[in-house]
Chain A
Amino acid sequence: MTKLPLLQVAALRKSFGGVVATDDVHLDVNKGELHAIIGPNGAGKTTLISQLSGALMPDKGSISLDGVDITSAPAYKRARLGITRSFQITSLVMEMSVLDNVALAVQARKGSSFRFIKPARKIAEIRDEAMTYVRKLGLRKRAHEPTSALSHGEHRQMEIAIALASEAELMLLDEPMAGLGPEESRLLTDFLLELKGSRSILLIEHDMDAVFALADRISVLVYGRIIATGTPDEIRANSDVRHAYLGEE
């Protein structure tokens, strides 16, 4: 482990009024690693992700990506540097088609979008590539339908397709399985397993089966603090964690 981690978070702190949502968090994600964060509701998991993606600014601490300090970079710049996120509550452009949504992610890394002449939907380079991601997530048949017409499960798949299409080095996935049925969850878990290693992923998830099947390392967040970090086996064996979170009877 002499290599520099891709993402390094040090002494991060964020409070809302009197509530400390992120309390002295140290965290890193190595290249190709799948690092999961678990913790009870209200532990500050989404708040943490939002600070990493740039949607929220931390009060203190630092965040760096590949050795570059990005603590105060706006969200769109972080995205260009290679961080993408999926949303716990689906966040898509509902009035556009499925393919359009994914194509926007492809277009974002194909140079400037300050181009006014060629119709965007006729640029084969972008459309074809977007279609491969749509197909990968099994949405081929719905590609040209407006996003609003799709089911919740399909929206979750779209979130992943978009994260993939952005080709970000680091994917922040905020509860990708939220609201999915057991079968859909299993399919998505398999998909992430397949993806593992080729991307660095920070995963927030409540589905413990998925987390323990997927993660290289797990950090446990309770009341804004990370109380333990380790391999799935270490976390399973950790008595603090059992006490605080896993609900040891």
Chain B
Amino acid sequence: MLKMNKTGWVTLIGMAALAILPPLLLLNGQAFYMDLATRLVILAIAAVSLNLILGFGGLVSFGHAAFIGLGAYAVGIPAYHSMWGGFDLIASSNGLLHLALAVGVSALFALITGAISLRTKGVYFIMITMAFGQMAFFLFQSLEAYNGDDGLTIDLRSELPFLNLDEPMQLYALSYGSLVLVMLLVRMIVNSRFGVVLQGSKGNAERMVTLGYNPYVYRLTAYVISGAICGYAGFLLGNFTTFISPDMMHWTRSGELMFMVILGGVSTMFGPVLGASIFILLEEVLSSFTTYWHLPFGLMLIGVVLFIRGGLMGLFKGKGE
């Protein structure tokens, strides 16, 4: 305990605050803050998943919001059919089915798009992942059956054993617990033998090839894991908002996820969570002053990138860390 460094303390305090404050506020009748915190925690899961490939894999994916959308539609589409009939195969309000669909479809989408995207590098990778994200966006925009552009209202939340997602407290508990598990999962992966090869490939792919590793398969695997986790975040988000639209997949949403990761600090465990927290809070505060809140926000991000090495988590890093 005494050996814990500054970053460790920041992580612990931050996670404790997220565990305690929102439920307390809800108990005091501040449902609004609970809503805010739920959205924050869910987006933090997505940001943590992006960090696996962006921070530890060096892969700047600009299409990550597509996975959120896929995960959300994996809740919305079966719920829609169980309400209005049709598509018997998946028409159901069974949360475990939604969950399996969200994770499965996202992983499959990641496998297919990743297999192609990862053949490119640098700027081309950024562009092609963005193109695939936009493809998903336009696909759902054109699906008239699910109201296309206008979006889909989810009348029934996923039904899970032991949990009632209609209860804000329970939904939050699930989201927060998921965030903790996902953070531990990502930490386990990056420290594993797989993880060091992934990070080695980020630092020097040529060297890794010389040692007998094929960076492509490691990157693709990480991409699929990341996509699947992000799809899970989408499953939670669909249940939270109960309204989903293609807008969730738009490239600007992917950009926001990148903001969160970079602002908080890439290749750190808590960075994406910190980034998501600041993003959500600032969005709330700044947009109450002006509709043009993106401007001060953008300036701030530029400031962080220019002056603080390693994002906000970089502030807490000691020498030699």
**A residues apposed to B, CB below 8 Å:** 53-55, 74-77, 79-80, 84-85, 87, 91-96, 100, 103-105, 107-109, 113-121, 123, 162, 166
Does A107 lie within 8 Å of B193, measured CB to CB?
A: yes
Kindly state the separation between the CA atoms of A194 and B245 in the bound complex, as whole angstroms. 68
Kindly state the separation between the CA atoms of A18 and B204 in the bound complex, as whole angstroms. 31
Given A93-B200, A94-B203, are A116 and B209 neighbors across the interface (CB < 8 Å)?
A: no
Given A93-B203, A116-B188, are A123 and B196 neighbors across the interface (CB < 8 Å)?
A: no
Give A172's nearest chain B residue, CB to CB. B210
Pick the residue among A55, A94, A115, A166 that contacts B211 (CB under 8 A): A166
Name the distance in Å between B310's Cβ and chain A's nearest Cβ.
11
Does A113 lie within 8 Å of B197, measured CB to CB?
A: yes
Name the distance in Å between A137's Cβ and chain B's nearest Cβ.
17
A-contact bits for B188-205, CB 8 A (1 contact / 0 none): 110111111101100110
Kindly state the separation between the CA atoms of A175 and B191 in the bound complex, as whole angstroms. 34
Q: Which residues of A contact B191 (CB under 8 A)?
A: 119-121
Does A92 lie within 8 Å of B194, measured CB to CB?
A: no
Q: Is B213 an interface residue (CB 8 A)?
A: yes
Q: Which residues of B contact A96 (CB under 8 A)?
A: 196, 199-200, 203
Name the distance in Å between A94's Cβ and chain B's nearest Cβ.
6
Q: A95-B203, A96-B200, A166-B211 are known; give 8 further A-B pairs, CB within 8 A.
A: A53-B210, A85-B210, A87-B206, A93-B208, A96-B199, A116-B195, A119-B192, A162-B211
Q: Which residues of A contact B197 (CB under 8 A)?
A: 104, 107, 113
Given A55-B206, A107-B196, A113-B193, are A84 and B211 neighbors across the interface (CB < 8 Å)?
A: yes
**B residues apposed to A, CB below 8 Å:** 188-189, 191-197, 199-200, 203-204, 206-214, 218, 221
Does A116 lie within 8 Å of B203, measured CB to CB?
A: no
Kindly state the separation between the CA atoms of A166 and B211 in the bound complex, as whole angstroms. 7
Name the distance in Å between B59's Cβ and chain A's nearest Cβ.
16
Does B207 lie within 8 Å of A79, measured CB to CB?
A: no
Give B192's nearest chain A residue, CB to CB. A116
Does A117 lie within 8 Å of B188, measured CB to CB?
A: yes
Does A92 lie within 8 Å of B204, measured CB to CB?
A: yes
Q: Which residues of B contact A162 (CB under 8 A)?
A: 207, 211
Looking at B192, B212, B214, the one whose CB has the most chain A CB atoms below 10 A away is: B212
Looking at A80, A84, A85, A116, the one whose CB has the most chain B CB atoms below 10 A away is: A116
Q: Which residues of B contact A84 (CB under 8 A)?
A: 210-211
Q: Which residues of B contact A91 (CB under 8 A)?
A: 204, 206-207, 210
Q: Which residues of A contact B188 (CB under 8 A)?
A: 116-117, 119
Pick the residue among B189, B204, B210, B214 that contacts A116 (CB under 8 A): B189
